[in-house]
C-alpha cells in the first residue's frame, strides 16, 4: 500500500502539531488549465472536479485545502483520505494515526473494528468500494441516498458525484439537473460555471460558503 504509507508520512507533517519536521512545499496541483477557455470547453474539467472535492473536504473537516491537496499528491486515494478524516473527527484521533492503522491492516474494515469504532457508514465496510463511497458522500453532505443513486444512474463518476452536490447550491440547481445540464453542454463543467459568472479558481471560496461541517447549507432534492 505505497500510496497510504506515503500519505501517512505527509500527513504526519501536516496534521500533527507535535511533529516539527517541515513538510515539502508543493505549489501546484499539476493542473495547467484552471480557467474556462471557450475554444477548449472541457479543458478545465479536471481542475474543477478536483478542487470541488478538495474544497468540500477542507470545509467539512476544518482543515486547510492545501493539506488535502498535499495528501492527495502523496498518492493516497480520495476515499482513504475521506475515511481517515471522518474517523479523526469521530474519535478525536489524528488523521495520520488512522492512515497508519490502515497501512498496517488488510482493510479499513479490520482497522476500524480493531479499534471498536462505530460510524454511520461502518455497515458498508464489507460492501464494494462504490457503496462505501456513496454512503460516506451522503452522510458527509447530509443528502438523501436517493439523490446519490439518481446521480449514479445518470452516469456520475466519483468526482462528478461530489461536484454536482457541492456546486449545485452555487448555481441554484438541483444536483441531478446540474449534471444533466453539463452533459447536454458537451460535458463542460467550465461552461456551466462560466455562464453563471463563476471562475474555476473561485470555487474554493464559493464552496466554503455553501458547505460547512454540517453538510450542505440547504436541503438537496
Convert the pLDDT of each residue in 23-44 to its tens digit: 333 334 568 888 999 999 999 9
Total-model pTM:
0.81
If DSSP codes are grouped into helix, strand and coil, which group holds residue 212? strand
Sorted by sequence, the CB contacts under 8 Å of residue 182 that are 6+ apart come out as 160, 188, 189, 192
Mean pLDDT of the chain: 85
Helix axes 45-61, 158-171, angle to 10 degrees: 80
Residues 175-208: tens digit of each pLDDT: 999 999 999 989 999 999 999 999 999 999 989 8
Amino acid at each position: 500500500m505505497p500510496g497510504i504509507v506515503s500519505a501517512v508520512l505527509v500527513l504526519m507533517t501536516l496534521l500533527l502539531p507535535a511533529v516539527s519536521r517541515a513538510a515539502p512545499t508543493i505549489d501546484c496541483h499539476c493542473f495547467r488549465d484552471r480557467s474556462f477557455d471557450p475554444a477548449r470547453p472541457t479543458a478545465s474539467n479536471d481542475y474543477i472536479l478536483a478542487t470541488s472535492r478538495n474544497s468540500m473536504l477542507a470545509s467539512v473537516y476544518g482543515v486547510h485545502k492545501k493539506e488535502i491537496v498535499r495528501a492527495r499528491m502523496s498518492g493516497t486515494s480520495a476515499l482513504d483520505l475521506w475515511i481517515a478524516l471522518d474517523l479523526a473527527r469521530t474519535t478525536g484521533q489524528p488523521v495520520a494515526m488512522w492512515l497508519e492503522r490502515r497501512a498496517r491492516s488488510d482493510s479499513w474494515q479490520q482497522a476500524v473494528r480493531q479499534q471498536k469504532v462505530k460510524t454511520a457508514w461502518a455497515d458498508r465496510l464489507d460492501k464494494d468500494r462504490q457503496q462505501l463511497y456513496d454512503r460516506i458522500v451522503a452522510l458527509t453532505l447530509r443528502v438523501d441516498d436517493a439523490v446519490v443513486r439518481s446521480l449514479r444512474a445518470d452516469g456520475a463518476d466519483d468526482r462528478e458525484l461530489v461536484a454536482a452536490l457541492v456546486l449545485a447550491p452555487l448555481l441554484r440547481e438541483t444536483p441531478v439537473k446540474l449534471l444533466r445540464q453539463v452533459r447536454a453542454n458537451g460535458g463542460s463543467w467550465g461552461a456551466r460555471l462560466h455562464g453563471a459568472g463563476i471562475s474555476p479558481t473561485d470555487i474554493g471560496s464559493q464552496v466554503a460558503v455553501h458547505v460547512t461541517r454540517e453538510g450542505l447549507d440547504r436541503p438537496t432534492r
